[in-house]
Amino acid sequence: MPPEVRADQSAPTDQSVLVEQGLLAGKLVLITGAAQGIGRETALLAAAQGADLILSDRSDLVQETETEAKDIADARGRSLTSATVLGDLETWEGAEHVVSEGTKKLRLPDVCINAVGGTIWAKPYELYEPEKIEAEIRRSLFPTMWMCRAILPEMKSRGTGTIVNVSSIATRGINRVPYSAAKGGVNALTASLAMEAAEAGVRIVATAPGGTEAPERRIPRGPGAQTEEEQGWFREVVEQTTESSLFKRYGTLPEQAWPIVFLASDAASYINGSVLPIGGGDQG
């Protein structure tokens, strides 16, 4: 016989609501990096799947995402409860502010989706200046580490919650070694924190997106490829990413957002500590 399941670790008793009202119906979801890209797409899908939202970014463009999310909810006959919080998640103070201010405006989120990150430069590792290595780590590891540190104690105290980290299959890739190392850290963070938090009823999981087609960024991560040599290094990244995919193409934003929303939902209640590659067969 299986061991008795504690109340705070039990599976959801009625999952029909996931079909009838949406995968995230009744949940308050905090999404970082929500002004553009995967974060924005996930926010809009979460609204369509019944979630209320706390949207965070360091750009006030996140307010446009909130407006779009409200329109999506309205079109489905639902009034969206939402808030936006600006913050620089490369710092502990920024993450602490986002969690405390979001909780103050609404309540403690049921789900935290950490979508801040992304390659700033592309070049062979020996050509990275030390300050650029540090910048890549600050950009793609620390926002997730700080957000987990800021929200986990409250989730554990409440006895329930889900954290979904957005990593990358670039943990095995060329010309982005500092970024690869940062996302490798996100993977390790996810696995280790899941072991620590499970007994308290908190799930921690991650997706690892591959190359993703998206509109041109309205908030650039960096100066972009300036010289012909830099453009060549970036093309190598694109070619390697495409060739590593069994489909030989980039994914789409919806193809990245749907797995995140699934993992955030009670439909994934028995998935914990896992990193799900979303790279068209590239396992990262």
Task: Give catalytic residues, as residue numbers.
Answer: 179
| Nearest-10 crossing angle of helices 177-197, 142-158 | 10
Distance CA 213, CA 252 (A): 5
Distance CA 69, CA 274 (A): 28
Helices (H) and strands (E) in the chain, counts: 9, 7
Give the number of other CB atoms < 10 A from CB of residue 8: 12
For residue 26, is it left (φ>0), alpha (ψ between -120 and 50) or beta? left
Q: CA–CA distance from 59 to each of 65, 88, 250 (Å)?
A: 11, 9, 26
Distance CA 249, CA 21 (A): 33
